[in-house]
Structure 1
């Protein structure tokens, strides 16, 4: 019997990854944030959400002791957060600033690995936060990686479907070509291994709707061998994630067909899980940094729905909009985002804003802000593929896709000469205005 303990609806875009520590649950999303919850009652921690990434967050994981939370993003950075405070302990930039798709930390928390869209991996010493190795290891995007239980090897998977086994000096130990047709999506080692000949169990899954179990073994004086022992096909659509239980007796996989399959030697149960839409809004691209009570810099209010803004976020927004004279009034009345979104002519007067002109400016700014964040129900083609936000000035790039001009120009300035959508080299960086799309977006906004 399986029942829902809690449904968490705080993210405003797709949830890309979840991770547990002994006492915490972390989630990350295309809305550029991470959220952290206490597993005792699934209440969100006071410092959550964590808003340090400039683009969507693809992966998150905890260090083995649970003291640190790690995340990686399209912005090319891996951020190390203190899991008890939310403070940024380190920001590790990919050497080529390539978008990062996946990250993993060694079982002894000695090393941190991140895989990128340009087929490279970067390996850092976790304690000193220094880059140890950086190398091109795949011809396609690295979308899966995991360390072996001993921490002396790691596996990577790419969108072309290959699995590769490496030592921590990034020397290739074994390559499994076309392990998953159409691409690998995830891989995970069982936590236990046999010591006589160093034998590990590895699970991998992919776009071919299959979960595969491998035996990775290495005998003294011999090379590594990777042998396929099970191909499990109970799921009818691409399998996006897989993981072993803590005792290594079970392996679980989640699929696009909305099922979670739990396996032993054969399938013992399949759970059909309903899929919920998370939240009902989109984030707003921000241009300023705020500083919270913990002293860490973060792109605060600009990453959240208005209702999630803190009092400090509201005051920062007032300054940005040229309404500095209202800051002291809002501060004295403890106005946060929820109250700001409900503000009207009467409540503005109650706050003591006597100037009719100032009240009018404030209310117009609030209406414009709410309209800007109303793009959650917009057709997908109206959203920039990079930021997942409603486009204001759409342009067509050489890959044939449309992007928000500012986002694509920023992408290109960051020395990314490849397509954000295909990872193929852009033949030109020329951007052409997409006037028909801009008109369609304008018509859609006016109809809301």
Structure 2
């Protein structure tokens, strides 16, 4: 499916980013050597205008505008530079961040450029005036990655504490967030250009929420897919719902990217590999081994012919894609090919395994063992059987029980079990429980809901902790909270109690 055709080795330090031009003929790569290099892919040579120089520190991110007239490069020197792609001369330096700029991306309509920084802010810049349009604050750690929804109306940011959040472009207001998207930090995020409301034939006149497919990758070695529902004509609520977890990488995932037609997803990792996935089925199609160190970035060419990858081994590699070879399970390493087995990867989705279509508490012991097998932890099946661990027991499993009663020694295995159970429980919350019952801060069912001065309801302990930590803004609107008085929401508490006393209980 992927044949190595070019190895580009002119950078003198780590390659941190790469991107194809809209016409697929030029590949741009940025490096810790402070340079940006331009490659003619059909010719396999470096352009005469290359390298582009001027950044005073590592180049972390690069992006072409949708029409190909501008190139943006972001650096740990706290700036974003714009280049004219006709001459590859510098147009201007956008300076507004106070920390390293980790990510830059153009809006689909090319009117805005977004940058995310270690100063815990996102900046939106006008590509016409080259001026700052809006600064978005309120993040609790470094912004590592950011992306526009395909309709230009929202942005999504991923930060180093593991949180992703959705913000409205026009107002700069946070509309939804997930505090534990990737446990060890979110390194990358990207929207599918064709899924759901992003598709060419999805003009929605019914008033239902526009929806998009998001991928994130992070320090937990996981690739995660999310359903992003934005506000419709009849609702102002946005929602981030977990869709699938793709488990195959053995080290942090540094970048994920969709092909232009949305049919392929690529992820690259510190395990020195790039994996190509079918994003809708959550299945791996191909894995490539060619780099000798971490693979830090990857990019599809817009015409679908090439996949590029950059690495700490200071090289950029370009792969020719043969889309007719789509037999799932093919792994290629140089000239060595082997079949992908169940032990190479596992995808947890809403349709797999069989037990996942049931509510967790309805699982039998056999269902639990199927789940363990798919986690590559079948060695513990007998222990779970001996202790009659069914879905109800699994729902309430703790680290102490895993150690003391089930005698599971390796910390990695215990964490894998607990993380997967957490994902299963979260999926059931997303699918079954009304969003109004969940605290906007913890995303857990509220036990003692209270109304704050911003008019929204929160779990009492969560909003009290929020205020005690010194935050003076609303978790929902990011606007100042006028006072700290909290009023018990007895009506909501009663509704939640009645809901869980009925057959809806998880």
- Which category describes the TM-score, using the shorter chain as reference length? 0.5 to 0.7
SS at structure 2 position matched to 1:7: strand
Partner residue of 1:137?
A: 138
After TM superposition, the structure 1 stretch with the greater mean CA deviation from structure 2, 107-116 or 81-90, is 81-90
Tell me the distance in 1 between the aligned counterparts of 2:185 and 2:99. 20
Q: Deviations over 1:25-56 (max 9, x none)?
A: 00000010100112222311111100010111
TM alignment of 1:28-427, pairs within 5 A: 28-94=30-96, 96-168=97-169, 169-192=171-194, 193-194=196-197, 195-196=203-204, 197-218=209-230, 219-222=232-235, 223-264=237-278, 265-276=281-292
Tell me the distance in 2 between the aligned counterparts of 1:214 and 1:135. 23
Partner residue of 2:6?
A: 6
Partner residue of 1:413?
A: none
How far 1:137 sits from its partner (Å)? 3.1
Q: Deviations over 1:371-418 (max 9, x none)?
A: xxxxxxxxxxxxxxxxxxxxxxxxxxxxxxxxxxxxxxxxxxxxxxxx
Contact preservation (8 Å) 1:68, 1:82: yes
Tell me the distance in 2 between the aligned counterparts of 1:173 and 1:165. 6
Contact preservation (8 Å) 2:273, 2:291: no
How far 1:79 sits from its partner (Å)? 0.4
Larger RCO, structure (CA 8 Å, separation 6 or more):
2
Tell me the distance in 2 between the aligned counterparts of 1:262 and 1:7. 19
Tell me the distance in 2 between the aligned counterparts of 1:115 and 1:2. 32
Contact preservation (8 Å) 1:121, 1:137: no
Contact preservation (8 Å) 2:62, 2:73: yes
Q: 1:274 to 1:56 in 2, by over 3 A?
A: same
Q: 1:246 to 1:232 in 2, by over 3 A?
A: same
| TM-score after normalising by structure 2 | 0.53
Contact preservation (8 Å) 1:165, 1:175: yes
How far 1:68 sits from its partner (Å)? 1.2
How far 1:203 sits from its partner (Å)? 0.5
How far 1:270 sits from its partner (Å)? 3.2
How far 1:97 sits from its partner (Å)? 3.1
Partner residue of 1:401?
A: none
How far 1:277 sits from its partner (Å)? 7.1
Contact preservation (8 Å) 1:259, 1:270: no
Partner residue of 2:19?
A: 19
| TM-score after normalising by structure 1 | 0.60
Tell me the distance in 2 between the aligned counterparts of 1:97 and 1:180. 25
Tell me the distance in 2 between the aligned counterparts of 1:101 and 1:200. 24
How far 1:269 sits from its partner (Å)? 2.1
Tell me the distance in 1 between the aligned counterparts of 2:63 and 2:192. 16
Tell me the distance in 1 between the aligned counterparts of 2:37 and 2:86. 12
Q: 1:277 to 1:238 in 2, by over 3 A?
A: closer
Contact preservation (8 Å) 2:147, 2:157: yes
Q: Which runs of 5+ in 1 are unaligned?
A: 279-448
Could you say what the CA RMSD is over the residues aligned between the two structures, in angstroms?
A: 1.5
How far 1:24 sits from its partner (Å)? 1.2
Q: Deviations over 1:263-298 (max 9, x none)?
A: 2213232313221579xxxxxxxxxxxxxxxxxxxx
How far 1:142 sits from its partner (Å)? 0.5
Tell me the distance in 2 between the aligned counterparts of 1:39 and 1:164. 36
SS at structure 2 position matched to 1:5: strand
